[in-house]
């Protein structure tokens, strides 16, 4: 059910309506009164499906069944939707290999769960003025340790704290193409 108010029967304001019958057949463009009369003949409701269309679209069906179907569609859409979180992995220049391995393992786990991972090379003081290629190589060190198939969503770029890049899980198609 959308946030808009659904008009039924006499609440429909349009004079002409494109009407869909109870069996899904297209009745055509008819007057509101004629559509209401046809709905009453089969003991069903006239529901305005698409009020913004020209002319508005109405369907002859049971209002309770219509609400049930709308709620069911919403439930399915909600179940299919997955919020993607951006998880953060921060490393410094002096981070050791073992710690990098642990952070890469955590990043791999997050990728398998479908999250995006932001890898940040955090620089302090004079470290910010070191050779850019050297610093990018340090960030690529952790990339090489990640075991899960991934693609780069946002390439390495300089940020006030240092350097960062965002990776996300590669889809099945992309991983097959890379092989």
Give me the residue spans of the domains in the chain. Answer: 9-79, 86-178
Other beta carbons less than 10 A from residue 61's beta carbon: 21
* Architecture in CATH for domain 86-178: 2-Layer Sandwich (3.30)
Domain 9-79 CATH class label = alpha beta
Q: Coil, strand, or helix at residue 138?
A: helix
Would you place residue 72 in the very low, low, confident or very high pLDDT band (cuts 50, 70, 90)?
A: very high
pLDDT one-digit tens code per residue, 24-37 = 788 888 888 888 88
Quick one: DSSP state of residue 114?
Answer: T
pLDDT one-digit tens code per residue, 87-129 = 899 989 888 889 989 999 999 998 888 888 999 999 988 888 8
Q: What does the angle CA 58 – CA 61 – CA 62 come to, to the nearest 5 degrees? A: 130
Euclidean distance between CA atoms 37 and 35, whole angstroms = 5
The distance from CA 38 to its chain's CA centroid, rounded to whole angstroms, is 41
Report the candidate in 125, 119, 111, 128 with the shortest Cα–Cα distance to residue 168: 111
pLDDT one-digit tens code per residue, 45-57 = 888 888 888 888 8
Rounded to two decimals, the pTM is: 0.52
- Quick check: do 9-79 and 86-178 share a fold? no
Using the structure block, give the residue that is written with the tokens 């020209």: 54
Q: Coil, strand, or helix at residue 78?
A: helix
Report the candidate in 55, 11, 48, 50 with the shortest Cα–Cα distance to residue 29: 55
Quick one: DSSP state of residue 13?
Answer: -
């Amino acid at each position: 059910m959308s946030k808009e108010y659904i008009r039924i029967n006499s609440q429909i304001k349009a004079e002409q309506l494109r009407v869909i019958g109870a069996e899904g057949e297209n009745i055509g463009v008819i007057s509101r009164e004629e559509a209401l009369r046809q709905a009453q003949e089969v003991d069903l409701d006239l529901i305005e499906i698409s009020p913004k269309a020209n002319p508005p679209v109405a369907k002859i069906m049971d209002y309770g069944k219509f609400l049930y179907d709308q709620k069911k569609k919403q439930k399915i859409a909600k179940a299919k939707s997955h919020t993607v979180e951006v998880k953060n992995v921060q490393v410094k220049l002096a981070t050791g290999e073992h710690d990098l391995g642990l952070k890469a393992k955590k990043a791999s786990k997050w990728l398998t769960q479908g999250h995006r991972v932001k890898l940040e090379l955090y620089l302090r003081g004079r470290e910010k003025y070191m050779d850019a290629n050297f610093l990018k190589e340090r960030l690529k060190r952790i990339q090489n340790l990640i075991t899960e198939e991934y693609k780069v969503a946002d390439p390495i770029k300089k940020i006030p704290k240092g350097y960062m890049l965002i990776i996300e899980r590669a889809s099945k198609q992309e991983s097959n193409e890379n092989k």
